[in-house]
């Protein structure tokens, strides 16, 4: 019997010489593996779950990643959430001839007309969303014209909130109207968040065109921006985002923000600086994010089930607490922390909504009124003082 | 009488040698193409073709995030008739010019030191260390350093040198250029080091032996031979800095709107890609004009002889 060592095959009987890698083979293999790994990172995930899969694009904190984890586990569902930094991210992905596949996404107030015109929305069967019922939902958000028209539901309001003046009470007195921001003491101490759409309604309100917004004629539009110029003189820098506005308040670079998210004071407090909200007599800029099913949706029944879960009182309360926002399900109100409950004055919502309105967006195309694109351009010109 | 048969090829020595080595040379050329093909392929697919598509799109029309093929100059006319485009362009060009100039000038002596005065790469690595932090972190770090309550203002006030924080330190053109120089410095340094390494020390020594001073050697030997890396350093930094809109937005204050942001608005917010593409190509034309201007200046000063000195 030949010894294994004599055969050269070892005890496995495999010729190690034969399988030894040549340098070129190794490099080719390594290159192929790298390319495979890289290309594989673009491939859609392989979802083992049997309950279904959802592709969601929305605002961070509003896609139920943590709040609906237990439900996903119980139902064997996988959800891939991606986050939009602004509404344009969503529009860009759904527009054009090759839109991205999404089962659920969101539109901010006013974009319903734009998306309707672009044909991006699918009607929603509310019979599959029992939580979206008149006895649950704050009346303003139940079948309101922003989400319901032509006898069909196109969007389901999820959370709402306000953008208003945020100030440092140690540095400035509480502004009770927008004109208070023109106080000489605030020269070079004010910032605007560079999110045009959330400022536009306020620009119209300050100029006295609140009732007409978002349909302003060219003359009204020019006048509104002319009247905004003194506020620009007070401005030190345009904050790149809400987070940047928080950073500017905390570092003491500015003492007031023209219009910032309601969660700004809680964010600055976390970083050791006390700031406060002020809803001036002209009102705040309201926002409301609505879930909608885009044309590219694949699993619509599951998307409807997801919407229903997000409207449950417990889920609403958790999401609103994370986002420091308002809930649309009235049954979630008692579950909210006291400071959040008081900020939105749920006991007097009618009065609140009388003062601060749910505004739409300027028209995409119009011969009579200034269009959305013209507002964008003018906002850029205003920032650049061109 | 000798008759020369012209039909027979006359093979000269070098040509004969060349012919004999043809097989080998062909293989060399082929392997060169083979080595260059991956980046060439990448550039063609991911730069050249998209650039051509963008150019074509700049002549199209747009409505609500969708484009319609056309052959109109309306986008160019609209961009060129907007005063905001010129204003933002002027701000961008200033940012680009000062950043490129300062980065190149500051990098030059460091590159000289790295190439001719030390065998260590420690200084080069030190300059490159800043690349290990993210762009945004560096921008926010400068905001903290230059801010009203930042390190510089706090120190100056603590030392009693100023009564009030220096407001111009942050949210100003100074802050933008300073930050961009910090970000771009490793690029210019690498390019200059690479250029100087091609200039052997023998040339410098020969220049000195012939009686040239240090300044003459710099002006007559180093700069002409390194002009390509100088131009590369300047233009590379210029284009990046002039196109940037994040740093100007975060550190430039309220008057820091650059063309980059105007273009980005068209692509992201308005959804008017054709107008954005037209603006981008106008900006490209301006960059090419600056490049031609820079070469013209260097040629006028006999600093860009248009020769290749290296193998």
pLDDT at residue A40 greater than cutoff 80: no
What's the complex ipTM? 0.76
Q: How much is the pLDDT for B84? A: 86
Q: What is the mean pLDDT of residues A360-375?
A: 90
Q: Per-residue confidence at A226, pLDDT binned at 50, 70, 90?
A: very high
Q: How much is the pLDDT for A5? A: 37
Q: Per-residue confidence at B308, pLDDT binned at 50, 70, 90?
A: low
pLDDT at residue A343 greater than cutoff 50: yes
Instruction: Please give, rounded to a whole number of angstroms, the shortest distance from the CA of A248 to a CA of chain B.
Output: 10
Share of chain A above pLDDT 70, in %: 87
Parts of chain A belonging to CATH 3.40.190.10: 52-154+288-340, 161-284+362-384
Q: What is the mean pLDDT of residues A91-120?
A: 90
Q: Confirm if B185 and B237 have CB atoms less than 8 A apart.
A: no
- Give chain B's radius of gyration (CA, Å): 26
pLDDT at residue B5 greater than cutoff 80: no
CATH tag, A161-284+362-384: 3.40.190.10
Q: Confirm if A154 and A58 have CB atoms less than 8 A apart.
A: no
Helix (H, G, I), strand (E, B) or coil at A290: strand
Q: Are strands A190-193 and A256-261 parallel, antiparallel or unpaired?
A: parallel
- Lowest mean pLDDT: which of A164-178, B63-77, B146-160? B63-77
Q: How much is the pLDDT for A85? A: 80
Q: Confirm if A253 and B172 have CB atoms less than 8 A apart.
A: no
Summary mean pLDDT of chain A:
87
pLDDT digits (tens, 9 = 90+) for B79-114: 999 888 999 999 999 999 999 999 999 999 999 999
Q: What is the mean pLDDT of residues A226-250?
A: 94
CB < 8 Å to B147, chain A? 251-253
CATH tag, A52-154+288-340: 3.40.190.10
| The length of chain B, given as a count of residues | 311
Instruction: Please give, rounded to a whole number of angstroms, the shortest distance from the CA of A251 to a CA of chain B.
Output: 7
Rounded to two decimals, the pTM is 0.78
Q: How much is the pLDDT for B119? A: 85
Instruction: Please give, rounded to a whole number of angstroms, the shortest distance from the CA of B258 to a CA of chain A.
Output: 8
Q: Which site among A115, A191, A225, A237 would you substitute to test the B interface, given the most B Cβ atoms closer than 10 Å to its Cβ? A: A237
Q: How much is the pLDDT for A373? A: 85
- Lowest mean pLDDT: which of B10-14, B131-135, B161-165? B10-14
Q: Which site among B60, B63, B64, B139 would you substitute to test the A interface, given the most A Cβ atoms closer than 10 Å to its Cβ? A: B64
Q: Confirm if B148 and B168 have CB atoms less than 8 A apart.
A: no
Contact call for A386 and B84, based on CB within 8 A = yes
Cα–Cα distance for residue pair B227/B23, rounded to 1 Å: 36
Residue with tokens 């308002």: A326
Helix (H, G, I), strand (E, B) or coil at A195: coil
Share of chain A above pLDDT 90, in %: 68
Q: Per-residue confidence at A80, pLDDT binned at 50, 70, 90?
A: very high
Question: How crowded is residue B5: how many other Cβ atoms within 10 Å of its Cβ?
Answer: 6
Q: How much is the pLDDT for A161? A: 94
pLDDT at residue B233 greater than cutoff 80: yes
Summary mean pLDDT of chain B:
88
Q: Which residue has the higher pLDDT, A87 or A289?
A: A289
Q: Which of B254, B265, B271 sits opposite A238 (nearest CB)?
A: B254
The full 3-state SS of chain B, as one line of letters, equals CCCCCCCCCCCCHHHHHHHHCHHHHHHHHHHHHHHHHHHHHHHHHHHHHHHHHHHHHCCCEEECCEEECCCCCHHHHHHHCCHHHHHHHHHHHHHHHHHHHHHHHHHHHHHHHHHHHCCCCHHHHHHHHHHHCCHHHHHHHHHHHHCCCCHHHHHHHHCCCCCCCCHHHCCCHHHHHHHHHHHHHHHHHHHHHHHHHCCCHHHHHHHHHCCCCHHHHHHHHHHHHCHHHHHHHHHHHHHHHHHCCHHHHHHCHHHCCCHHHHHHHHHHHHCCHHHHHHHHHHHHHHHHHHHHHHHHHHHHCCCCCCCCCCC
| The length of chain A, given as a count of residues | 386
């Amino acid at each position: 019997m030949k010894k294994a060592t004599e055969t050269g095959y070892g005890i496995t009987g495999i010729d190690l010489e034969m399988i030894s890698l040549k340098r070129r083979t190794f490099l080719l293999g390594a290159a192929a593996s790298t390319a495979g790994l890289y290309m594989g990172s673009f491939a859609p995930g392989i979802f083992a779950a049997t309950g279904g899969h959802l592709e969601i694009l929305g605002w961070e904190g509003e896609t139920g990643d943590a709040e609906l984890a237990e439900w996903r586990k119980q139902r064997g569902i996988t959800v891939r959430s991606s986050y939009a930094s602004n509404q344009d991210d969503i529009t860009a992905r759904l527009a054009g001839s090759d839109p991205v596949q999404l089962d659920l996404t969101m539109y901010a107030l006013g974009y319903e007309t734009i998306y309707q015109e672009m044909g991006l929305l699918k009607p929603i069967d509310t019979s599959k969303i029992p939580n979206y019922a008149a006895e649950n939902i704050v009346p303003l958000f139940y079948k309101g014209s922003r989400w319901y028209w032509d006898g069909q539901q196109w969007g389901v309001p999820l959370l709402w909130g306000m953008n208003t003046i945020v100030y440092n009470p140690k540095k400035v007195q509480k502004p009770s109207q927008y004109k208070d921001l023109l106080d000489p003491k605030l020269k070079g101490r004010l910032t605007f968040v560079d999110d045009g759409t959330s400022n536009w309604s306020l620009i119209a309100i300050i100029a006295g065109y609140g009732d007409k917004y978002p349909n302003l004629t060219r003359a009204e539009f020019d006048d509104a921006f002319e009247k905004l110029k003194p506020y620009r003189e007070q401005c030190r820098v345009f904050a790149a985002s809400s987070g940047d506005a928080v950073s500017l308040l905390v570092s003491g670079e500015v003492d007031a923000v023209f219009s910032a998210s309601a969660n700004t004071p809680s964010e600055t407090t976390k970083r050791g600086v006390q700031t406060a909200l002020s809803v001036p007599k002209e009102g705040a800029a309201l926002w409301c994010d609505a879930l909608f099913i885009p044309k590219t949706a694949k699993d619509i029944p599951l998307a409807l089930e997801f919407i229903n879960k997000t409207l449950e009182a417990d889920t609403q309360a958790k999401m609103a607490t994370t986002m420091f926002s308002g809930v649309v399900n009235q049954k979630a109100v008692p579950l909210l922390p006291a400071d959040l409950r008081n900020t939105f004055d749920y006991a007097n919502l009618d009065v609140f909504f009388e003062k601060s309105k749910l505004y739409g967006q300027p028209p995409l195309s119009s011969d009579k009124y200034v269009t959305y694109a013209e507002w964008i351009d003018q906002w850029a010109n205003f920032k650049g003082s061109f | 009488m000798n008759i020369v048969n012209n039909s027979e090829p006359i093979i000269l020595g070098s040509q004969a040698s060349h012919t004999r080595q043809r097989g080998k040379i062909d293989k060399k050329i082929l392997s060169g193409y083979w080595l260059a093909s991956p980046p060439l392929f990448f550039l063609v697919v991911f730069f050249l073709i998209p650039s051509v598509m963008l150019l074509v799109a700049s002549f199209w029309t747009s409505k609500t995030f969708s484009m319609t093929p056309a052959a109109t100059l309306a986008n160019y006319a609209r961009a060129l008739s907007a005063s905001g485009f010129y204003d933002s362009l002027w701000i961008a060009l200033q940012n680009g010019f000062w950043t490129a100039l300062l980065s190149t000038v500051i990098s030059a002596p460091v590159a000289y030191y790295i190439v001719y005065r030390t065998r260590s790469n420690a200084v080069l690595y030190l300059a490159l260390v800043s690349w290990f932090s993210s762009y945004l972190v560096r921008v926010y770090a400068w905001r903290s350093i230059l801010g009203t309550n930042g390190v510089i203002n706090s120190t100056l006030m603590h030392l009693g040198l100023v009564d009030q924080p220096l407001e111009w330190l942050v949210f100003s053109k100074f802050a933008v250029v300073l930050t961009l120089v910090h970000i771009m410095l490793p690029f210019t340094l690498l390019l200059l080091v690479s250029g100087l390494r091609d200039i052997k020390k023998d040339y410098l020594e020969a220049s000195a032996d012939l009686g040239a001073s240090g300044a003459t050697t710099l002006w007559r030997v180093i700069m002409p031979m390194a002009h390509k890396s100088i131009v590369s350093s300047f233009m590379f930094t210029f284009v990046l800095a002039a196109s940037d809109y994040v740093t100007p937005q975060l550190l430039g204050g309220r008057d820091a709107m650059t063309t980059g942001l105007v273009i980005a608005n068209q692509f992201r917010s308005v959804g008017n890609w054709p107008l954005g593409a037209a603006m981008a190509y106008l900006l490209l034309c301006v960059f090419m004009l600056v490049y031609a201007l820079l070469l013209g200046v260097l040629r006028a000063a006999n600093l860009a002889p248009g020769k290749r000195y290296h193998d």
